[in-house]
């Protein structure tokens, strides 16, 4: 209170909900920041595991297309194409020579009923 004018000085609050609280303390800001950073550090490796390896994704896509043509060849002829898939090109299933793996350049081969890349899919070829 000012003695000369007899007016009361009141604090003005910036918080309309609770006029007694003026703002956020540094402890609250630091705690919130620590929680957000911890969640981000824990979530980052999990998000990276979902992405396919770009080097093998082109190989897998091409292999799946060749596998579909080999299945169509079997349905039409009741026999599988030869191991090096040359009959797919000869009978116009592929429209030319069967292209090699886009990442390694190795030709796809037929192992039983499965088309596989000998470089990338060693588990299927043995």
Tens of pLDDT, residue by residue over 40-61, are: 888 887 777 655 556 567 888 8
Closest CA to 69 of 96, 105, 103, 106: 96
Domain tally, the chain:
1
User: Looking at the domain assignment, is residue 88 inside a domain?
Assistant: yes
User: Looking at the domain assignment, is residue 32 inside a domain?
Assistant: no
What does the pLDDT average to over 54-81?
87
User: Looking at the domain assignment, is residue 5 inside a domain?
Assistant: no
Compute the distance between CA of residue 88 and CA of residue 82 in angstroms, rounded to an integer: 9
User: Looking at the domain assignment, is residue 43 inside a domain?
Assistant: no
Task: Specify the pTM.
Answer: 0.54
Average pLDDT, the chain: 79
CB 72 within 8 A of CB 81: no
Quick check: 1 pLDDT over 60? no
pLDDT class for 19, splitting at 50, 70, 90?
Answer: low
User: Looking at the domain assignment, is residue 40 inside a domain?
Assistant: no
Tokens of residue 85, six digits: 């898939």
- pLDDT of res. 55: 57
Quick check: 37 pLDDT over 60? yes
- pLDDT of res. 58: 81
User: Looking at the domain assignment, is residue 85 inside a domain?
Assistant: yes
Show the domain range for 120. Answer: 54-125
User: Looking at the domain assignment, is residue 69 inside a domain?
Assistant: yes
- pLDDT of res. 47: 73
40 membership: H or E segment, kind and range: helix 26-49
* Cα dihedral sign, 100-105-108-109: positive
Compute the distance between CA of residue 63 and CA of residue 104 in angstroms, rounded to an integer: 13
Where on the phi/psi map is residue 81: left (φ > 0), alpha (ψ -120 to 50), or beta? beta
pLDDT class for 68, splitting at 50, 70, 90?
Answer: very high
Q: Say which range, 8-22, 33-47, 49-63, 97-111, has the weakest mean pLDDT.
A: 8-22
Distance, C-alpha 126 to centroid of its chain? 28
């Amino acid at each position: 209170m000012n003695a000369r004018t007899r007016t009361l000085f009141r604090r003005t609050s910036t918080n309309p909900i609770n006029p007694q609280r003026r703002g956020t303390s540094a402890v609250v800001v630091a705690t919130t920041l620590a929680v957000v950073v911890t969640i981000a550090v824990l979530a980052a490796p999990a998000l990276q595991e979902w992405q396919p390896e770009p080097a093998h994704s082109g190989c897998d896509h091409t292999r799946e297309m060749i596998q579909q043509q080999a299945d169509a060849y079997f349905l039409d002829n009741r026999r599988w194409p030869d191991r090096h898939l040359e009959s797919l090109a000869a009978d116009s299933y592929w429209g030319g020579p069967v292209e090699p793996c886009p990442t390694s350049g190795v030709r796809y081969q037929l192992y039983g009923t499965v088309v596989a890349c000998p470089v990338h899919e060693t588990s299927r070829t043995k």
